[in-house]
Structure 1
Amino acid sequence: MSTERSSDSAAPRVFVSYSHDTPEHRQLVLEFCTFLRSEAGVDVRIDAWDEYERRDWSLWAIDQLISADFVLVIASPAYKRRADGTAAADEGRGAQFEAAIIRDGLTRDLRKETRRVLPVVLPGRSADEIPVFLGAHSTTYYKVSEFTTAGVNDLLAALSGVSEHPTPPRGAYVGPTFDSSTARAPSGARESTLLTLALQPVVRGADLRLTGVDLNGIYYGNSIVHRCVNFCSDARSPIEYNLGRSFSTFESVVGIPDDAADAAQSGYFQVFLDGQAQPQVEARLGRPQKIRYDVADVLRLRLVAYRPDTHDNPMLAGAMAAVGRAAKLPALAWGNPTLFR
């Protein structure tokens, strides 16, 4: 399995929720997080690394849980007790608070949060210590045998969205054959590769993230998502790749993410092939569009997605927010952009 990503900024942001059972358990969690960050390049966040100043830990936890691409729940007896509601009210308030938010997220969107919240069993721990609401015996959990790449291979696969055994391309359906002398092999199969995993962008807008997204109820695990917070650094936030004239076709599903804050927005998607603009494609929530372009002999592929009514001036966006008016920020996605040879 390959876990290589196109850039450091493409690494998943991961929040680790755990309890301070014992000094030994806390040290084990720290060693695990250090390995993930230092050796596997994962953007790990944990409370121990933010203890350098006085802070409101409840607000800190809310921010971490909302901002994380994934939440790792570390199994332990104390965490299970606190998450399942059997601990005293004054026992491990932090773990109780985080677990309550995680439970609420699962109740709000079970499908999405089941993919995002990953139960982890460290060496010496047991799956029986996973909180009941995470369904240890009916859903996937990640047992870490040792702090090596091989020891966390299944977890890294979940974080990257790349399976160790990916589904092979399906050939053309030929139906049954009864005479072996006339049997035909499947034809039309093409070698495909995900753009976000195969190539490093030469240009990348500040408001773009490489992450998973749901479009009309279908999950696309390796997508390019354009979202702005408070205001857009660049309302059109382009991304550009050097194809090296090595591919024949580019395909993607474009649309408004199912979790977009503004369900009424329209998104426009445009492809540039060696600087030549292709016709724009419009998409709305629940109505994504599949696009396909011939890129044979194309050197540079440029993707631009924008919301036409976005206020891209930071001062204007701030002024509108001050009077309670929305800045009409975009939420747009190129779902699983794929190249074919």
Structure 2
Amino acid sequence: MDEPAVVKRQTYDHSITFVCDLYCNTGQGEKQESVASFNLGGKYRTLSVRMAVLDSSPDENETGTFEVYLDSESKGIWHVPFGNPVEKTLTVTGVNRVRLVAYRPGTVANPMVAGANAAGGIENVLPHLAWLNPELRR
């Protein structure tokens, strides 16, 4: 997405967003997810992240699931509802690789299902998620 992330009317220009317009085709099987992975080379002490559902979500009941992996080890899973961002600071001393995963359970992954839902007047379940301005500190 080319637009900056907006949460609670605040703009975050350096964010990682996950938004699908009609359906998602980003994962394997039923789990459609956004994955951002980057190498730290063991050079940082902390990673601060804020996780949120974007203001642009048409569903005020949307809840996103966010996961953080440090060198393939899960450091937490957070279920973040619309309007209630969650902020975490993680120790990354000695960590080589960080992987940030975001998804919305039940996301429509098939264009035929998305079309059938639209024809039947059913809202498709789509993500409007963001990692807001992740920050590494040495």
Q: TM over 0.5: same fold?
A: yes
Larger Rg: 1
Q: Does 1:266 align with 2:58?
A: no
1:215-294 paired onto structure 2 within 5 Å: 215-234=7-26, 235-294=32-91
Counterpart code for 1:313: N
Q: Structure 1: any 5+ residue segments left out of the alignment?
A: 1-208
1:144-163 paired onto structure 2 within 5 Å: none
Flag the structure with higher strand content.
2
- Asked which structure has the greater RCO (Cα within 8 Å, sep 6+), the reply is 2
Runs of 4+ in 1 over 6 A off after TM superposition: none
Q: 1:243 and 1:318 mapped to 2: Cα distance?
A: 42
Counterpart code for 2:14: N
Aligned length: 133
Q: Does 1:329 align with 2:126?
A: yes
Q: Structure 2: any 5+ residue segments left out of the alignment?
A: 27-31
Query: Which residue in the other structure is 1:297 paired with?
Result: 94
Change (3 A) 1:320 1:257: same
Q: 1:219 and 1:340 mapped to 2: Cα distance?
A: 22
SS of 2:76's partner is coil
**Identity score, percent:** 36
SS of 1:231's partner is coil
SS of 1:315's partner is helix
Counterpart code for 2:120: V
SS of 2:33's partner is coil
Shift of 1:269: 0.6
RMSD of Structure 2 on Structure 1 (CA): 1.5
Q: Is the 8 A contact 1:227 1:330 kept in 2?
A: yes
SS of 1:238's partner is strand
Cα deviation, 1:256-315, whole Å, max 9, x if unaligned, reads 111212221101110111111122111112110001111111111111111112122332
Question: What is the TM-score normalised by the length of structure 1?
Answer: 0.37
Shift of 1:210: 6.2
Flag the structure with higher helix content.
1
Q: 1:232 and 1:340 mapped to 2: Cα distance?
A: 33
Query: Which residue in the other structure is 1:76 paired with?
Result: none
Q: Is the 8 A contact 1:273 1:298 kept in 2?
A: yes
Q: 1:215 and 1:302 mapped to 2: Cα distance?
A: 22
Q: 1:317 and 1:302 mapped to 2: Cα distance?
A: 29
